[in-house]
Amino acid sequence: MDFLGAAEPRLTLYLPHRPNGLARLVTAPDSQQLMAANSNHWRKIVTLLAKITSPGADDWRRFRDERLFTQTALCFAPALSDSPGWHWIGGGENLARFTALDHRARPLSACPSVAIDPAKRLLLTPYPDYRQLSNSVVSHIRAALEPYGFYRC
């Protein structure tokens, strides 16, 4: 099982490891169940996914708890899906798994640890953890995605 979430997500987050209870979650993706069945580490990942993808920056909690996996996905295979949405690869070691990935991602001037390739709809960041993706960094990511219509529903 390499995929959890919406069939056509606006954003797919690629991670190198799977959460506990994945088999049960694949059939009925639920952020609350995912967080309950796993460590605080997964709460951080799910929360950062919600903070970046929520249509309203201040409404991320409700979005995370009610709609996250209707609009996003988690993928554990080192190959980009055919989804027309954005693809988020978190972490340098994780990015190294994508050996065939050809991209032209450029660092954000305000936040050089984050890079985007709008043509490939690719977002490259440090691993999704609060220490590396602070609220300030999340704000820069949201600002970088906005011009590409990411938050228009």
pTM of the full structure: 0.95
Determine contact, residues 57/49, Cβ cutoff 8 Å.
no
Please, which pLDDT band fits residue 153 given cuts at 50, 70 and 90?
A: low
Domain extents in the chain: 3-147
| Average pLDDT over the chain, rounded to an integer | 94
Name the class of domain 3-147: alpha beta
Q: pLDDT, tens digit, for every residue of 21-55?
A: 999 999 899 999 999 999 899 999 999 999 999 99
Please, which pLDDT band fits residue 7 given cuts at 50, 70 and 90?
A: very high
Q: Is pLDDT at 119 greater than 90 in this prediction?
A: yes
User: Looking at residue 2, what is its pLDDT?
Assistant: 92
User: Looking at residue 152, what is its pLDDT?
Assistant: 84
Q: pLDDT, tens digit, for every residue of 79-104?
A: 898 888 999 999 999 999 999 899 99
What value does the mean pLDDT take over residues 66-72?
A: 96
